[in-house]
Structures are given as C-alpha cells and as structure tokens.
Structure 1
Amino acid sequence: MRAVLCGYYGMGNGGDEALLATLLQLLPMSVTPLVLSGNPQETSQRYGVKAVPRKSLAAVWSALRQSQAFIWGGGSLMQDTTSAINPLYYGGLMKLAQWMGLRTIAWGQGIGPIHRRSSRWITRWVLQNCDAVSVRDGASAQLLTDWNIPCQLAPDPVWALKSSHLPGFADLHSPRVAVALRDHAQLTPERLANLTKAIADFQTATQTCVILLPFQPVKDSAIANHIAQHLNGHHEIIQVDNPDQLKGVFRSIEMAIAMRFHGVVMAAAEGCRCFAISYDPKVTQIMKELSLPGWGLSSTDPLPLIPNDAGTMTQQWLEHYANGEGLSDVQVRSHIDRALLHAAVIQKVLTKSTDNL
C-alpha cells in the first residue's frame, strides 16, 4: 500500500527532517511512502523516497488518489501562533484525505497553541475522524481527552531515531558544548547580547569548544554567526543536513544550551547534559517532564525568567556543567521504548488497512 506523509518537510528545519526520518524508519516494510515536500528533489535524494511539491494542488491530489493512507508526520502542525494558515493547510489536507476514503493518522502531534476559535474547530473536526491519533505531550493528550478524542500519549518520536556519527566531528577540539538558538521576537537584541557575552565567558572559564548548531539555517544562522564573532576560543558553526547525524552530534557533547525543541530532545536522548531556553509551551513541557534546568523568555511562562545579566547566566551554566547530569541509560531507554508506541499506532492502522484491500 502507499501512504502520503504530510508535515513541515523539505523546509530546511532539522527537527522536522528528524521527524520524517523517524517516520520512515518506523513505517511497516509493506508501506510505500509518498512525501509532500517543500523541496521534493532534495527529499527524494536524501531519503530514497518519492516526493511531490507540498503546495501543488495537482500533485497533492494525484498523490492522494494513488494512496490508501494519509499521515500527519509529527510536530506542531495544528497551531496558529506562527501562522493562521497552518490549521487550514494541514486540516484541509487531512479532511480531503478522509473524504477520499483514505486511512488517516495524526502521528506524534503536539497540538497548539491554538488561539483562534476557527482553528480549534478545524482541529477538533479533523481529529474526530482520524483512524488513530498519537500525541507527544500531556497537554495535547488532555486537550483531546476534553474533546472526547482517544489518543496514544508517548514521547516525541525523535527519541527513537537511530543516530550516527558525523564524519570528522571527533577531530574537533574537546570538550565540546553545543548551542542551538533560534530567532524569536522575545529573544531581543539585549537578551541576545547578554547570551553572547555569557557564552563567551563560559567558554573562557571552561576552555570548551563551542559547537553552534543552526537547526533551521534560514532562521538560526544569523544568531550563530553573531555569537561566533564574539568567541575567542575554539568554535565551529556546523550545519548538519542528515537528521541521524545531527542527533549523533550530541553523543560527543558535554553540555547543550538549547532553545530548539528537537535540540533538547536530541541532547537528552543521547545522554547529554542540557540547559534549555523556552520560547514555546512545547519546550516548557519537555523541560518540566525531564526536570531540566533553564529559563523562559516570557513572564507568563512558569519557568524562571531568563536573567537580565550575563554574569548570572554564566554562573548557572558553570554550575550545571560541573554538577549537572544527563539522563541515565535507563531513563533514555524508557523514553525510546515509549516513543515506539507511535510506531505501534501506525502498524495497527496500516496493517488493518492492508488486510481490507
């Protein structure tokens, strides 16, 4: 059978590419994937799958017509914080697939934040008619419970992504600290200046090699370049296009300072100490779940507010670097095993669909 995979794919975001790589890793062997992508050629070459333009109505219609299943492939697709169009685009495709009789799965989802009544209505409408729903956090599970929609709760699927070594990475100066920041309205110039000074002071105190990881280069590279210009010690800006190698980078990292959600996930999954900075409820959720130290950018966030001076930042990082610990092997294995529950959801629905063909 053939399944259409729909997500924020081919858009240069390392986290979403990791979700696609994980989904392809977990798909039953009997299922042939057809990916909706912002860069079909790149997606096809990287993963060895067929891909079509995600914004071409003719291509999407053709993909649905020749398929038996449709999968939202992870992430925060149904949210209207970044754009009010998101629920319309993803919800519209899910509803079209349902009208066409395809088996539909909302997989590894983080629902929200949803601010508009229309967005909530669309989200509830399409999820009610899915053959299966799996979510990655307790808040999403609670929302669906309130809507009387059954779902499987499990950690983000990327916990289960198999990691691999990045060629040449072991040759870099050690010990290493990774920094994965992103552009955001609440990361003001003043806060970025403080963070930059704090990272430079931290490096001076620890003599570490700072690895700057732009998860989405179009949004993250400017910050990475800015920080690099203020570092006197060993540092590298590394853009990793292969998701399993991106995750593998954290194998050889002593500590991560991560703002990107999947930067936090990958660091934790590889047993790396992690200090997080939250710009979104999804980051706050995983910080609370894993008891990670860190700050929030918003005064409404339940986390401690990011300090307004570099010295306090540096001191807290030094404390975590010296005395903090990553997750134990048992904790990591538990999260990976539970993340595989997302695979069980797919297996159940698609095996049933195959049996009925």
Structure 2
Amino acid sequence: MTLSSFFGTRIVLYGIEVTEIRNNISRKLWRKLLKKVDWVTTRTQNSQKILMSITNEREVLFFPDITFALRDLDMNKYFKRIKTPEIYENFILWALAMPWSLEELQNKHFKDRYNTLVSALIDAHHYIDRVFPDCKNVLVPFLHPSDMAFAQNLISLGFDNAEIYQGSLAEIRPLFAKAKLAIDMRFHSVIFSMFEACPFAAISYSPKTTDTLQDNRLKCFTEFGIRESSYFYREFDLNKDEFLELIDRISDGGERKADRENLMSEALRGEEKLISWLNG
C-alpha cells in the first residue's frame, strides 16, 4: 500500500470484514491503513461500524457479500462447465469445518473438545435422519485436507447413510439449490445457502457469520466457540439441544429464507458503484 501510494495508484479494500479490534496497536494500524486507501466497502454492517469508529477521514460503505453478485452465468466465464452434480434426488448437505489443526488435536484439551463436538454432530445426524428418513447425507469438504479428514472421521465414528462429495469446487454452489436442508459451518456454505434459498441451520464459530445472518434478519444459527482469537468466538461447546430445536423450526418451515433477489440486486449495486468510481 505504501508503494501504491508513492506511485499514485488508487487502493481499494472491497468486501472486507473486521470482526473485532481488541487493542490500541491494532486500532492504530487500522487508522494508518485507512489513511492510505481510496475506497472501502465492508460486507457486514458491524464491520462498517467498527471501521467508521476508527476514522472520519475515509467514507466506509456497506454492501452485501460480493459473492451474491456472481451469477451462474458469470461463473461460466471462468469454468468450462457448471452443472448441478447428480448425486441423489433427496439429500442433506453437511458443510462442516474442522475447528482445530492436527497439532492442536495432540493437546488433550482440544482433543476432548473435538470428541464432544463429534458426539453432538453424530447425535444431530441421527436426529435429522429421523426427520428426513428418505434423504442421503452428503458431506462437502470446503477446505482440504482438514475438512476431508473431519468428514472421514465422522463417517468412521457413526455418521452413517452418508458419503463424501468428490466433485469439483466449481460445482459446490449449485448443490445448495437442490438440497432439502444444509447444515453449515463454513462461511461460504452459509452464503451459498442464502443465495440458493436453501433451508439451513448454521453453526457459527466466528462473528462474521453471525453478523452476516443478523444483517439479513436470519435467526437460523447457533454459536460455537473455538479459541481465543478476534476471528473466532472464545471457547464454549455447541449447545446440542438448542441446535436440535433450530433444526425442528427449519424443518417445520418456521424460519424465513433469505431474500435472494434483494441480496443479488444490492451486491450488484455495490459492484456498479465501485465501477462508476473507478471510471470517474
């Protein structure tokens, strides 16, 4: 950014999010950074609020996640083929995130927390199998190899009537248009569920997920704390009973879906505003 400023190149921070600023050093660094940039948009209203509290020298705009402006037709420009993978007529999607690294899992504390999470997810899986008896379970690893290892471990420990999705990353989003229900941990699994108007229950382990859902007046989530970090929630276990009640509300149609058309139009408006500024 310093080099860009020196050479007179405009700098854009586009679609960023800031979860929390906990100390004065971080605040000072952000203040210096914001002085160097020419354009800032955030993807959550909370991020906008945090950055605006740091500086009054730079306008900070908010628009929905930029992914909402990317239609399937747009994606065809970058991939040779985009199609809905032919998996099953009826299926439940599980986009689970491995919360801890292999190194952390060598520590008894994290290993015990991992086992508690796995037990809760397997219980939830068996419950969902009773609610949706005709559905296959498809585990979708967003992040390799950690999410793949997590999925394999779940299946080995009792996550039955299930298989791991083996398709390409380019084909993941269309899955959410066909699923009966999605259980989402990865941030962009939440984004895809919202875009495709898929009924979903989110396990939010970071403020950015909760902020995004609250921006869209969606209550289809429960929270889970991983570690001491501004990017995640401080440690607390998944409340299994709360999670099962959430699944009940969704399966009964008691939770509203995201307004796909509004999300797309607002994201496109943000894109158009940036292009207009660049051309101005």
TM-score by length of 2: 0.78
Partner of residue 85 from structure 2, selected from 151, 164, 169: 169
Partner of residue 107 from structure 1, selected from 9, 14, 26: 14
User: 3-state SS of the aligned residue for 2:169?
Assistant: coil
Corresponding pairs, count: 251
CA drift at 1:117: 3.0
CA drift at 1:125: 1.3
- Indicate how the Cα distance of structure 1 residues 154 and 107 shifts in structure 2: closer, same or farther if over 3 A, else same: same
CA drift at 1:168: 6.5
What is aligned with 1:240? 168
Unmatched tracts of structure 2, length 5 or more:
74-80, 101-109, 227-231
Letter in 2 for 1:288: Q
Unmatched tracts of structure 1, length 5 or more:
1-93, 353-357
Aligned-pair Cα RMSD in Å: 2.8
Contact 2:44 2:215 in 1 (8 A): no
Q: Distance in 2 between matches of 1:200 and 1:166?
A: 32
- Indicate how the Cα distance of structure 1 residues 215 and 168 shifts in structure 2: closer, same or farther if over 3 A, else same: same
Letter in 2 for 1:157: I
Q: Distance in 2 between matches of 1:327 and 1:314?
A: 18
Q: Distance in 1 between matches of 2:240 and 2:257?
A: 29
Contact 1:106 1:127 in 2 (8 A): no
Q: Which has the higher contact order (CA 8 A, sep 6+)?
A: 2
What is aligned with 2:269? 341
Partner of residue 271 from structure 1, selected from 197, 202, 215: 197
Does residue 118 of the first structure (1) align with residue 25 of the second (2)?
A: yes
Letter in 1 for 2:261: R
CA drift at 1:254: 1.5
User: 3-state SS of the aligned residue for 1:133?
Assistant: strand
What is aligned with 2:105? none
User: 3-state SS of the aligned residue for 1:340?
Assistant: helix
User: 3-state SS of the aligned residue for 2:201?
Assistant: strand
Task: Trace 1:240-259 onto structure 2 (pairs within 5 A).
Answer: 240-242=168-170, 245-259=171-185
What is aligned with 2:78? none
Contact 1:107 1:134 in 2 (8 A): yes
Contact 2:180 2:198 in 1 (8 A): yes
- Indicate how the Cα distance of structure 1 residues 274 and 267 shifts in structure 2: closer, same or farther if over 3 A, else same: same
Contact 1:217 1:239 in 2 (8 A): no
Task: Trace 1:36-51 onto structure 2 (pairs within 5 A).
Answer: none
What is aligned with 1:159? 68
What is aligned with 2:146? 219
TM-score by length of 1: 0.63
Contact 2:84 2:174 in 1 (8 A): no
